[in-house]
Structure 1
């Protein structure tokens, strides 16, 4: 039987876009707002593996991710 785990953290890129189609400015057309920002995250995972025979094994694995997005 083998048990393994993984813990990692870092930053990822998130995007947000807003279409102000009702605020058409004369001569300028549509107005869009695009924002890109980084979001910190943490990820944890585990796997358990059981060798049944020389040619067969079973495993169970799971992973959890948490992204820390600020709202408000």
Structure 2
């Protein structure tokens, strides 16, 4: 039986980034609901955060798919 050692540090980093994105999105939603609008800079910031999340997530999923094929 083979033993597979997996480095989960990329997963931890993605979870941390996802939490920050979620927190930022919640703050923007609160502001929009409280004051009736949000600033374009806030939307741009959210877009950058989510772009930064999806690229490493896609890479991780490719690596996991390769492991499953073993």
TM class, shorter-length: under 0.3
Relative contact order (C-alpha < 8 Å, sep 6+): which is higher?
A: 2
* Bigger proportion of residues as helix: 2
* Bigger proportion of residues as strand: 1
Which one has the largest radius of gyration? 1
Compute the TM-score of the two structures, normalised by the length of structure 1: 0.26
